[in-house]
Amino acid sequence: MKFLLTVYARAEVAVPPPDADRDFVAAARQSGELIDCQVLADPSTSLLVRVHDGGTSVADGPYAGPPAHLAACYLVDCEDRDRAVGLAAMIPAARHDAVEVRPVMLAAGLEM
Amino acid sequence: MSAEDLGRLLRELAPQVLGALLRRYHDFETCEDALQEAMLAATVQWPADGVPENARGWLVTVGSRRVVDQIRSERARRDREMSSASRELPDATVTPGPGEGVARDHDDTLTLLFMCCHPALTPASQVALTLRAVGGLNTAEVASAFLVPEATMGARISRAKQRIRAAGTTFDMPAGPAYAERLGVVLHVLYLIFNEGYTASSGPDLQRPDLAAEAVRLTRAIHRSLPDDGEVAGLLALMLLTDARRAARTDTVGGLVPLAEQDRARWDSDLIEEGTRLVTDAMLRSPLGPYQLQAAIASLHVQAPHVADTDWRQIRFLYQVLCRIAPTPMAALNHAIAVAMTDGPRAGLAMLSVLAADDRMAHHHRLAATRAHLLELAGDPATAREEYLLASRRTTSLPEQRYLRARADRLAEADPAS
C-alpha cells in the first residue's frame, strides 16, 4: 500500500527536514519502501496561481498561513497502515508535532 | 523466436537453473544474481545466435561462471584485506550431477518457492523475491508490476536476500509441521500475486507483466508436484474461476462492472470448466480447506447462466462452513450477503451490525458498500445513498470510488427528495 507521509513544521522548529529526517530516509530507502522524498523550500517562496475569466493571477503564498506549513513529504510503499505509522514515528517532527499519514488512491479495484 | 516466446522460455527455465546452481554453490544471494545475469546474456545472444539445443545447460554454464567469478572476486577482496585466505573454489563443471535431471525440475520450483516464502520476510518481500527468483522476472519488471521505481524494488529484493542468508536457509524442504506451515505461506504469496494482477486496472498494459497469469503458471507448477494436495488444487481452481471473468469485469472505459451485471457470454468457458473440475475433484478426495471452499463458491457463481439462477442456498452453506473453519471478517461479510439473498435483506443487515463491532471491519469501505446494497434492496434508498457515499470516501481505489459514487447518484436521481 502506498502512503504519503507529510511533515508540517512550525516556525519555531530549529532543525529543517533534510537533516532531521536523515535516519528515517536511510531506513525507508534500505528496506525498499521509500518511493519519493521531497523537501519543500521555505513557504515564503511559494506562489498562488488562480485563473479567473481566462486571466491568470499570481500572488504570494503560502496558501494556508501559520501555525504550521508543509515542510516535506515522503511517498512510501509498505505492508499496511500499521507499518506506515511505524515509519512516520521515525520522523522527528512526530515528536514535537504530528506527521500526517494518508493512503494514496490506487488505479485498481475489485468488482463488487 | 519472438521476444515474448523467449521471455516465456526463460521464465520456465529460471527455477530449474537456479536449483542447479544452488545445489552446487549453496549461497542463495550469489546464485540468484548469477541466474539474472545468465538470463540477461540469453536475451542478448539467443535472438542473434539461435536458442541453444540444451538451453537449460547453457544457462547453468553461464550462471556457474558468474558464481565462480563472484566467489573469486570476493576471495581476492578478502585476500587483500587479510592476506591469509585460501579457500578451495567449487568446481565449475557444467555436466549435470547424478539426480540433476529434468525429473527434479518441478521439485526445484517447489523448493525455491519454500525458500522465497521464508517467514523472516514480510509478505511484500516474499512476493517480490518469488517473482524474481522463481518467476524469472527482472527487477524492472517486478517494479513496474507494483508501480514503484526500480531502485525501491531493487532495495527490497536485496534486503530480502540478505535476510534469507542471515536466517541460514539451505536449499532443502522443511520437514514435519514446518512443511505444512510453509506451504500455507507459499499459497498465500501466490494468492497475493494473483490478486495484484487481478485488480490491475483497465485492459492489458504491455509494460506491466501479467501477474495473474504468472501466479497461475507457478500454481500449476506446484499442482504438478503435489497433485494430491487439495488446497493447492483449490487455489489453482480459485484463480482459474476468478480469471474466467476477467474480460467481463471492466467496461470499455475501464470502469468496474459488478458480478451481477457482467455479460456472462464473455466469461471464459474453458477456464470455468477446468476450475470446476479441479475443485470438485479436490473436494471429493482431500480434507476440506479454505481455498477449496472459495473455489467452490466461485464455481457456483460462474455456473449460473443468469444472475437470477445463482444457487444462493448452496453458496450460503459454503460460506457458513468457511466461517467455521477459517473465520475472517471478509468471509463473514460475504456470508451476510448470501443470507440476504436467501432470507431477505433485513436478515443480512442484522448480520452486518454484528460485524460492525469488529475493529478490523468497522471502518472498512466494503462493510459500508454492502450495507448500502442491502439497504437498497430493502427499499430504503435515502440511507442506502448515505452508505454508498460513506463507502466511496473510505475506499482507496479510484475505480471502486467511481462505482460507489455512481450508485449513490443513481439513487439520488430516483428519489430527488433525498
**A68-77 sheet: strands from edge to edge:** A34-39, A68-77, A2-10, A99-103
Long-range Cβ pairs for the range A54-63 (8 Å, 24+): none
Q: With DSSP H G I counted as helix, E B as strand and the rest as coil, what are the percentages for chain A, rounded to 5? A: 25, 40, 35
Please tell me the distance in Å from A22's CA to the nearest CA on chain B.
17
Query: By the 8 A CB rule, do B256 and B250 touch?
Result: yes
Rounded CA gap, A19 and B231, in Å? 51
What pTM does this model have? 0.86
Q: Is A77 on the interface with B (CB under 8 A)?
A: yes
Q: Which residues of B308-333 are buried (b: 16+ CB within 10 A; e: fewer)?
A: eebebeebbebbeebbeeeeebebbb
Amino acid code (one letter) for A85:
V
Instruction: Tell me the residues of chain B between 315 and 374 that have a Cβ less than 8 Å away from chain A.
Output: 369, 373
Query: By the 8 A CB rule, do A14 and A90 touch?
Result: no
Rounded CA gap, B345 and B279, in Å? 30
Rounded CA gap, B67 and B73, in Å? 10
Shortest CA distance from A27: residue in chain B: B155
Q: Indicate the DSSP class of residue B260.
A: G
Q: Give the per-residue pLDDT at B59.
A: 96
Q: At what angle do helices B230-243 and B269-285 cross, to 10 degrees?
A: 160
Q: Is A109 on the interface with B (CB under 8 A)?
A: yes
Mean pLDDT of the region A74-87: 93
Burial class (CB in 10 A: 0-12, 13-18, 19+), B241: buried
Q: Which chain B residues touch A34 with a CB distance below 8 Å?
A: 152
The three cell numbers of residue B399 are 475505480
* Coil, strand or helix at A38: strand
Q: Is A38 on the interface with B (CB under 8 A)?
A: no
Please tell me the distance in Å from A46's CA to the nearest CA on chain B.
28
Q: Give the per-residue pLDDT at B104.
A: 60
- C-beta neighbour count of A28 within 10 angstroms: 25
Q: Which chain B residues touch A77 with a CB distance below 8 Å?
A: 124, 146, 148, 152
Q: Give the per-residue pLDDT at B221.
A: 93
Q: Which chain A residues touch B154 with a CB distance below 8 Å?
A: 32
Query: By the 8 A CB rule, do B92 and B34 touch?
Result: no
Contact B124 A30 (CB under 8 A): no
Reported confidence tier of residue A17, pLDDT bands at 50, 70, 90 = low
Q: Which chain B residues touch A33 with a CB distance below 8 Å?
A: 152, 156
Q: Which chain A residues touch B157 with a CB distance below 8 Å?
A: 32
The three cell numbers of residue A40 are 519543500
Contact B156 A29 (CB under 8 A): no
Q: Is A112 on the interface with B (CB under 8 A)?
A: yes
Q: Give the per-residue pLDDT at B79.
A: 76
- Residue A49's DSSP bridge partners are A58
ipTM for this prediction: 0.82
Strands A68-77 and A34-39: what pairing? antiparallel
Contact B401 A103 (CB under 8 A): no
Rounded CA gap, B24 and B20, in Å? 7
Q: Give the per-residue pLDDT at B183.
A: 95
Contact partners, residue B180, CB within 8 Å, separation at least 6: none
- Give me the tens of pLDDT residue by residue for chain B, a chain 418 residues long: 788 899 999 999 999 999 999 999 988 999 999 999 999 999 999 998 999 999 999 999 999 999 999 888 888 877 776 654 444 444 444 444 444 444 566 688 899 999 999 999 999 999 999 999 999 999 999 998 888 999 999 999 999 999 998 888 888 888 888 899 999 999 999 999 998 888 765 445 555 778 999 999 999 999 999 999 999 999 999 999 999 999 898 888 878 899 999 999 999 999 999 999 999 999 999 999 999 999 999 999 999 999 999 999 999 999 999 999 999 999 999 999 999 999 999 999 999 999 999 888 888 999 999 999 999 999 999 999 999 999 999 999 888 999 999 999 999 887 666 5
Q: Which chain B residues touch A106 with a CB distance below 8 Å?
A: 199, 396-398
